[in-house]
Amino acid sequence: MDPVCPLDYRYGRKELKEIFSEKNKLQYLLDVEAALARAHAKVGNIQKKDAEEITKKADTKYVKLERVNEIEKETKHDIMAVTRALSEQCKGDAGKYIHLGATSYDIVDTANALQFSDSTKFISKGLKDLRKTFVSLAKKHKKTIMVGRTHGQHTIPITFGLKLAGYAMEIDRHLERMHECKSRLLIGKLSGAVGTGAALGPKALKIQEEMLKELKLGIEDVSTQIVCRDRYNEFIAVLANIATTLEKFATEIRNLQRDEIKEVAEAFEGKKQVGSSTMPHKKNPITCEQICGIARVVRGFLIPTYENSIQWHERDLCNSSGERFILTHSLILTDWIIFKMDDVFKNLKIFPENMKKNLEISKGLPMAESLMTTLIKKGMGRGEAHELMRKTALKASKENKPLKEVFLKENKKLNLLSKKEIDYALDPKNYLGSTYDIIDKIVKKIS
């Protein structure tokens, strides 16, 4: 059958897709079954040789996916299919001890935690790479002056480096969140059908401890039939938060790439890239647009994730089908857009001359605050200075004249500032506040 899901043929990195492939999912389940058998052997419930045989055969070299799927068609139960297929491969009595005392979600949720452990390493590595790219650009463009914008309007000068230093710190906070989240996420369970461990016998807690210690996972404090889903809620929320940040960055690039602004642009790859099927001149920010679209999909998984945590009593099965989409897609897509975002910024086209030109479009109006603060320093009251510059700026805007020209007339009447003071106040590079110190601090902190 031809692929249906775009993850199969369009989005996602090979490494992440392999972690969540059907074959590797089977291997994670087998790894948990093998660890369970070894834990039983450690407490004396089964013989060591039987645990060793189960461990040896708990490998997709022996337990074939095709056979598991064949059994599942008959049993209508995925974990029973895995345990039966594994049992068929074991010699002697070993097969009798597979899945001893466990319920299906002891295996599934613990396997999920193993997948989370492996996949989040890629997420964290991608975030570190992106943070490094931002720091490098912040350092390079520390003094590249551009206009700041609020409400889509020109405000006062900033530098492109300051913008990127802010981006670097936002990614840094996501790395913190990911690290903190993992302590609550990488959790398994072995406590049976309702969390009591009754089927495991008097050594239930010791068996659970041995199994999860070997798998390098934490233990669910009090489980039901499943690991508590507040953990998954937090994790998917962290991924959605990361995706939202990336959409914010991508939206900024898309806006700054508009023809009437053109301060930065996505790289246009090679001589044969096509921007439009009908408009030959187009160079579209397609990667940033892809990031925005996928970020919305990742955020879209928040609602079903939270709803899945509302279970009937000790659990129902409503979470199972949804999580097959949510967990794989959220992780693969988040990793993908982190990777693509890093590529965008590493190859970003930056146009400082356009930044300078755009700053001058407003004919000095962004420097009204600078003149106001200069007047205050000369002894004028803050309110009086603000009112003077408000009227001056409005008049300059209405008459479409440079702020300097209109202010010089006011200044001549009031004799407030010298020409040297006016020129200094109107020069954007003199009104950057602590910009350089802020960037230096971030570069030093993260480098």
Alpha carbon dihedral 368, 371, 377, 381, in 10-degree steps, equals -50
- Kindly report the CATH number that applies to the domain delimited by 104-357: 1.20.200.10
Is the pLDDT at 358 greater than 50, yes or no?
Answer: yes
pLDDT for res 268? 77
367 contact partners, CB below 8 Å, separation of at least 6: 156, 157, 403, 425, 426, 428, 431
Read off the pLDDT band of 257 (50, 70, 90).
very high
46 membership: H or E segment, kind and range = none
Strands, DSSP E only, in 153-252? 153-159, 187-188, 218-219
pLDDT for res 270? 59
Is the pLDDT at 288 greater than 90, yes or no?
Answer: yes
435-446 and 160-185 are packed helices; what angle lies between their axes, rounded to 10 degrees? 40
Is the pLDDT at 245 greater than 50, yes or no?
Answer: yes
Distances (CA, A) of 134 to 174, 346, 375: 14, 9, 37
Nearest alpha carbon to residue 218 among 242, 255, 186: 186
Give catalytic residues, as residue numbers: 151, 276
CA–CA gap between residue 51 and residue 41 (Å, rounded): 6
**Position 394, amino acid:** L
Tell me: domain 14-97, CATH 1.10.275.10, correct?
A: yes
pLDDT for res 280? 42
Read off the pLDDT band of 300 (50, 70, 90).
very high
Is the pLDDT at 165 greater than 90, yes or no?
Answer: yes
pLDDT for res 273? 57
CA–CA gap between residue 112 and residue 28 (Å, rounded): 8
Cα torsion 262, 263, 268, 270: sign: positive
**Position 116, amino acid:** F
DSSP string, 74-125: HHS-HHHHHHHHHHHH--TTGGGGTTTT--HHHHHHHHHHHHHHHHHHHHHH
The pLDDT of 61-70, averaged and rounded, is: 98
pLDDT for res 230? 97
The pLDDT of 99-124, averaged and rounded, is: 98
For 229-235, the CB contacts below 8 A with 24+ separation are 229/305, 229/308, 229/309, 229/311, 229/319, 230/309, 231/184, 231/185, 231/187, 232/185, 232/305, 232/308, 232/309, 232/323, 232/327, 233/305, 233/306, 233/309, 234/181, 234/184, 234/185, 235/116, 235/181, 235/185
Dihedral pair phi/psi, residue 190, rounded to 5°: -150, 80
What is the per-residue pLDDT across 313-335, written as a single tens digit (0 to 9) for each? 999 999 999 999 999 999 999 99
CA–CA gap between residue 192 and residue 107 (Å, rounded): 10
**Mean of per-residue pLDDT scores for the chain:** 95
